[in-house]
Chains A and B, each alone.
Chain A
Amino acid sequence: MPRITMREAISQALWEEMERDPKVFILGEEVGVWGGTYAVTKGFYDHFGEKRVKDTPIAEAAIIGAAIGAAMTGQRPVAELMTINFAFSAMDHIVNEAAKLHYMFAGQFVLPMVIRAVGGGGRQLGATHSQTPDAVFAHFPGLKVVSPGTPEDAKGLLKAAIRSDDPVLFIEHATMYQVRGEVPDGDFVIPIGKSKVQRPGKDVTIVTYSKGLEISLKAAEVLAKEGIEVEIVDLRSLRPLDMEPVIESFKKTNRAVIVEEGWKSYGVGSEVAARIYEQAFDYVDAPVKRVAQKEVPLPYNRTLEQLALPQIADVIQAVKEVL
């Protein structure tokens, strides 16, 4: 299987879906002539033309609003938000319209739209451009929230998102576009809402996704040298949240650490931990631990930024604490 980057995987998914279905089109800031802020849509404008690769004004509410209108009238828009931080400018459209129209209109409309948004910190972009608010969006019923941690998942899940008749927020991590992994050639789809064991183990279950997967895999290698075998379950989508592999793993290990890049309070870890206690109480052998971002606006200073973000050493320490 070819090893390609996350960027190439996402780009391939978009390209193949646009070739497959003429209703699929892209809109967003700098997606066309410039080829995308993260160069994901390079070459798309020349190949598919300006009607299917639309540069928009810097107005996120307009981008999402237009995508909603297009989706309601039968198109399959893929709207790109330069960073997920700008989704707050479009919050009303995302949570009050996209997430609710199918329900409010009693199923008369479907909303086959994807919002691709770049999230995460670690690039010294300052507090307002480095957030990981994934849990905020996963809070709203009616919106699917997907965030892949490997190129293979990125391609398969983005294709699934584009083919889904529901609005999907597809969150890509800003520091993972260069991550390489094996991706099968050609067309394949990974269903949304299926967690996956990315590394088998027996001692402690790590539940994570996106950037957390990257650091957890590295922590697992260090721990393996000390004879500690962690099992890593990648959530891949936060809504719907598939707890089955998590619970199955937890019943084996009885110990869990949840790793996420967002803040700890009211976060993904809180939700997963609560569900573990609800669904596997009689298997708990140690309190579930959460590794997350320090509760501060993410600093610009590089040293402070790295201190605030969850690190490999934090995961290793948490695993040892639950053992």
Chain B
Amino acid sequence: MAETVIMPKLGFDMAEGTLVRWVIGEGQPVAKGAVLAEIETDKATVEVESNFAGIVAKHLVAEKDVVPVNTPIAIITQPGEALVKTPLEDAGGGGGKPEASHKEQGSRAVQTEAAQKQEISSQAAAPVKAGGPVKASPIARRLASEKGIDLSAINGSGPGGRVVRRDVESYQPPQAAPAAAPASTLAVTPPRAEPGLAPATAAQPGVERPLSKLRNAIARRMVEAKQQTPHFYITRDYDMAALMALRKQLNGLLPENEKISVNDFIVKAVAMTLKQFPNLNASFAGSQILQHAHINIGVAVAVENGLLTVVCRDADQQGLRQIAVEVKNMAGKAREGKVRPEDIEGSTFSISNLGMYEVEQFAAIINPPEAAILAVGAVQEVPVVRKASGESPAQLVIGTRMKATISVDHRVSDGAEAAQFLQALAGWLENPLKLVL
């Protein structure tokens, strides 16, 4: 029996995905669990595995097409089984590849279940614009028919392009105006010339770059974070001399791929400190604060055109070496655009480290729904005043110091608690042997 592969939903807020590349072509055999295609979600490129064994009879979606989750993307048949014509193809191709001719394999047309045909036709209808059935809510249908509006002329704003009530009510027939406004997209549109805001070099327009999925997700989430989360920031200075010495000693004993970075120490130290401060390992949730049972540290990783946080799970329970290897692996995969959804979901506290760029200090935007994020600067040799003790007077010495800034959701916690957190963190960073125990 023919089986349908759908665009999977990876992550709770994924609404659509881009089919980046077909790995297995039409007519090719596919084993269960084999990688069928690569798709790009909001956050990463991931591989779609086939849940069925058989022959890839048809790709329903072309490469680079964006389709909502659960949309059928391919049909897999059994050897010798002919593909039944789907209503989608009768409708003229739709979102699929119009040029892909329908391959009749032999004359034994096997009737697949009518239900399956219907499912394909109704679900695949979303991207179909001309000729196919229009997806519309019942009230939108009724209002359109009462007003004598052709539903297919309306751009649907509901899920999967469904025409909903507001679309019918706000619909303006394109008779007088030269053309209706194009469907809104999230791509960067050239700034409209508003009085007083026209750029000085209006004659030379800039370059329009469409937002990548990742850029789009970052834009959306950062606006959400900065608009809805009242941030406050606290910075503290850490004496890193002991830690740097210990790191040198440990790395002398470790093979190249297990070497521990300064950030790995910070991940472990933050996780241990969070055990003492469960209120900062939390999320603001309406009328309550959700304190998370696990301490999953998100580590910000710069990738092409954006950044991702890879998640070091239960970091408080992992050894430094495990953390080092795991973060290195995930960061590598993130840079190649091959992370698995579980590598980037579920962090409860994030760390952003710009130390490698010799940044002294900075403040980060909280990664919702977390309650706090730690922004870490470079470990630097700086002049430090050593306090007078006993008979020796105060002295100016060279210290090994690092600054870290915590950004906290003020709905969840307050300045004193955050300051105590930074202080407790010093207890770990400045006594690094405790992190090895």
Contact of A283 with B by CB under 8 A: yes
Q: Is A284 a contact of B286 with CB atoms below 8 Å? A: no
- Pick the contact of A283 from B139, B159, B286, B287 — CB < 8 Å? B139
Residues of A within 8 A of B165 (CB): 254, 285
Q: Is A281 a contact of B138 with CB atoms below 8 Å? A: yes
Residues of A within 8 A of B141 (CB): 282
Q: Is A313 a contact of B139 with CB atoms below 8 Å? A: no
Q: A254-B165, A303-B293 are in contact. Are A285 and B139 (CB under 8 A)?
A: yes
In the assembled complex, the Cα of A61 lies from the Cα of B414 at a distance in Å of 56
Contact of B301 with A by CB under 8 A: no
Q: Is B285 a contact of A283 with CB atoms below 8 Å? A: no
Residues of A within 8 A of B285 (CB): 311-313
In the assembled complex, the Cα of A74 lies from the Cα of B142 at a distance in Å of 55
Q: Is A285 a contact of B137 with CB atoms below 8 Å? A: yes
In the assembled complex, the Cα of A219 lies from the Cα of B288 at a distance in Å of 11
Number of A-B contacts (CB under 8 A): 40
Contact of B158 with A by CB under 8 A: yes
Which residue on B lies nearest to A223, using beta carbons? B286
How near does chain B come to A199, taking the closest CB pair, in angstroms? 16
Contact of B372 with A by CB under 8 A: no
Contact of A286 with B by CB under 8 A: yes
Contact of B320 with A by CB under 8 A: no
Q: Is B286 a contact of A286 with CB atoms below 8 Å? A: no
- Pick the contact of B137 from A218, A286, A313 — CB < 8 Å? A286
Residues of A within 8 A of B324 (CB): none
Contact of A222 with B by CB under 8 A: yes
Q: Is A285 a contact of B286 with CB atoms below 8 Å? A: no
Which residue on A lies nearest to B145, using beta carbons? A282
Residues of B within 8 A of A312 (CB): 285-288
Contact of A316 with B by CB under 8 A: yes
**Total residues of chain B contacting the partner, CB 8 A:** 15
How near does chain B come to A218, taking the closest CB pair, in angstroms? 5
How near does chain B come to A87, taking the closest CB pair, in angstroms? 32
Residues 205-231 of chain A, each 1 if its beta carbon lies under 8 Å from chain B, else 0: 000000000000011011000000000
Which residue on A lies nearest to B290, using beta carbons? A313
In the assembled complex, the Cα of A303 lies from the Cα of B293 at a distance in Å of 8
How near does chain B come to A212, taking the closest CB pair, in angstroms? 15
In the assembled complex, the Cα of A179 lies from the Cα of B218 at a distance in Å of 42
In the assembled complex, the Cα of A281 lies from the Cα of B159 at a distance in Å of 19
Q: Is B139 a contact of A254 with CB atoms below 8 Å? A: yes
Which residue on B lies nearest to A315, using beta carbons? B286
Contact of B164 with A by CB under 8 A: yes
Q: Which of B133-158 contact A (CB under 8 A)?
A: 137-142, 158
Residues of A within 8 A of B286 (CB): 218-219, 222, 312-313, 316
Residues of B within 8 A of A311 (CB): 285
Q: A218-B287, A219-B286, A312-B286 are in contact. Are A286 and B142 (CB under 8 A)?
A: no
Residues of A within 8 A of B138 (CB): 281-285
Q: Is B287 a contact of A285 with CB atoms below 8 Å? A: no
Q: Is A286 a contact of B293 with CB atoms below 8 Å? A: no
How near does chain B come to A2, taking the closest CB pair, in angstroms? 26
Residues 286-328 of chain B, each 1 if its beta carbon lies under 8 Å from chain A, else 0: 1110000100000000000000000000000000000000000
- Pick the contact of B142 from A219, A222, A282, A303 — CB < 8 Å? A282
Q: A254-B165, A303-B293 are in contact. Are A282 and B139 (CB under 8 A)?
A: yes
Residues of B within 8 A of A281 (CB): 138
In the assembled complex, the Cα of A286 lies from the Cα of B165 at a distance in Å of 9
Q: A254-B165, A303-B293 are in contact. Are A284 and B287 (CB under 8 A)?
A: no
In the assembled complex, the Cα of A177 lies from the Cα of B285 at a distance in Å of 25
In the assembled complex, the Cα of A286 lies from the Cα of B156 at a distance in Å of 12
How near does chain A come to B303, taking the closest CB pair, in angstroms? 29
- Pick the contact of B164 from A222, A282, A285 — CB < 8 Å? A285
Residues of B within 8 A of A221 (CB): 287
In the assembled complex, the Cα of A45 lies from the Cα of B192 at a distance in Å of 79
Residues 281-314 of chain A, each 1 if its beta carbon lies under 8 Å from chain B, else 0: 1111110000000000000000100000001110
In the assembled complex, the Cα of A286 lies from the Cα of B138 at a distance in Å of 9
Residues 265-296 of chain B, each 1 if its beta carbon lies under 8 Å from chain A, else 0: 00000000000000000000111100001000
Q: Is B293 a contact of A284 with CB atoms below 8 Å? A: no
Residues of B within 8 A of A284 (CB): 137-139
Q: Is A286 a contact of B158 with CB atoms below 8 Å? A: yes
How near does chain A come to B227, taking the closest CB pair, in angstroms? 11
In the assembled complex, the Cα of A285 lies from the Cα of B139 at a distance in Å of 6
In the assembled complex, the Cα of A254 lies from the Cα of B136 at a distance in Å of 13
In the assembled complex, the Cα of A285 lies from the Cα of B156 at a distance in Å of 12
Q: A254-B165, A313-B285 are in contact. Are A285 and B142 (CB under 8 A)?
A: no
In the assembled complex, the Cα of A312 lies from the Cα of B140 at a distance in Å of 30
Residues of B within 8 A of A222 (CB): 286-287
In the assembled complex, the Cα of A316 lies from the Cα of B141 at a distance in Å of 28
In the assembled complex, the Cα of A218 lies from the Cα of B285 at a distance in Å of 12
Which residue on A lies nearest to B138, using beta carbons? A284
How near does chain B come to A213, taking the closest CB pair, in angstroms? 15
Residues of A within 8 A of B158 (CB): 285-286
Which residue on A lies nearest to B228, using beta carbons? A226
Q: A254-B139, A281-B138, A303-B293 are in contact. Are A286 and B287 (CB under 8 A)?
A: no
In the assembled complex, the Cα of A271 lies from the Cα of B139 at a distance in Å of 21
Residues of B within 8 A of A254 (CB): 137, 139, 165
In the assembled complex, the Cα of A221 lies from the Cα of B286 at a distance in Å of 9
Which residue on B lies nearest to A226, using beta carbons? B228
How near does chain A come to B276, taking the closest CB pair, in angstroms? 19
In the assembled complex, the Cα of A286 lies from the Cα of B163 at a distance in Å of 10
In the assembled complex, the Cα of A190 lies from the Cα of B344 at a distance in Å of 53
Residues of A within 8 A of B288 (CB): 312
How near does chain A come to B286, taking the closest CB pair, in angstroms? 5
How near does chain B come to A41, taking the closest CB pair, in angstroms? 33
Q: Which of A63-116 contact B (CB under 8 A)?
A: none
Residues of A within 8 A of B142 (CB): 282-283
In the assembled complex, the Cα of A44 lies from the Cα of B209 at a distance in Å of 77
Residues of A within 8 A of B137 (CB): 254, 284-286
How near does chain A come to B184, taking the closest CB pair, in angstroms? 17
Which residue on A lies nearest to B285, using beta carbons? A313
Residues of B within 8 A of A316 (CB): 286
Q: Which of A232-284 contact B (CB under 8 A)?
A: 254, 281-284
Which residue on A lies nearest to B12, using beta carbons? A317
Q: Which 7 A-B pairs have the closest CB atoms?
A: A284-B138, A285-B165, A285-B137, A282-B142, A222-B286, A313-B285, A312-B286
In the assembled complex, 11 residue pairs joining A and B whose CB atoms fall closer than 8 Å, in A order, are A218-B287, A254-B139, A254-B165, A283-B139, A285-B138, A285-B158, A285-B165, A286-B159, A312-B286, A313-B285, A313-B286
Q: Given contact pairs A219-B286, A284-B137, A285-B139, enumerate 18 new A-B contacts (beta carbons under 8 Å).
A: A222-B286, A222-B287, A254-B137, A254-B165, A282-B139, A282-B141, A283-B139, A283-B142, A284-B139, A285-B137, A285-B158, A285-B165, A286-B159, A286-B164, A312-B285, A312-B286, A312-B287, A316-B286
